Structure formats: structure tokens, C-alpha cells
Amino acid sequence: MDKAGARRSAAWIIAGALVATGVVVVIVGVLTPVAFGWFAYQPLAAATFAPATSGLFLSRTTIIGWLVLTIGLLIVAYLLGRRAGSAKRASAQHPEAH
């Protein structure tokens, strides 16, 4: 395998690892309950605030997981586009093959 082939293989391995890591971190982050503290207290208020039912709170782990997953998917998209472009270029250089 030449150097270019080794770099392509390494790029695919890195992209796959990033996607797999991102998925695992997102799943772990979503399954982990989000803990946060209150910084104010209003003793005479009659309203009740229940954070679990009023919105989606993302943990830092979940956000990092989504970022890693997004970076991995962008690398995969780039590699697929590069592969499609090189195949198109090869078919344009040798039109008798089609």
C-alpha cells in the first residue's frame, strides 16, 4: 500500500472512530440524569417548577458527544465526496470503460 492509500485508510479509521465515540458519548450523556443547583429561593411563590417536565436539559457530556459525532460525520461526508469525485474524474479520463 502506498502512502496515499495508507492516509486514506487512516482517515476512514479516524472518521469511524469519531462517529462511534460520538454515538457512545451521546447515549451515555442522555442516560445520565442532569444535576443542577438552584441559586435563588422565593419562599412566598405559589408556583411550582419541575425541571424534568418543562424542558430538555442537556449535560455537558451530551453536548460534547454531539460535537464529536458531528465532526466525525463531516469527515465521512468529505471522504465520500472525495471518493465520488475521484471516480467521476477517472471515468471522464477513460470514457471507453462505460
CA distance 19 to 34: 23
CB 72 within 8 A of CB 19: yes
* pLDDT band at 17; cut points 50, 70, 90: very high
* pLDDT band at 59; cut points 50, 70, 90: confident
CB 22 within 8 A of CB 64: no
Domain boundaries, the chain: 17-30+56-91
CB 35 within 8 A of CB 58: no
DSSP string, 19-46: HHHHHHHHHHHHHSPP--------TT--
At 22-40, the pLDDT tens digits run 999 999 998 887 766 666 6
pTM summary value: 0.71
pLDDT of residue 58: 83
pLDDT of residue 82: 93
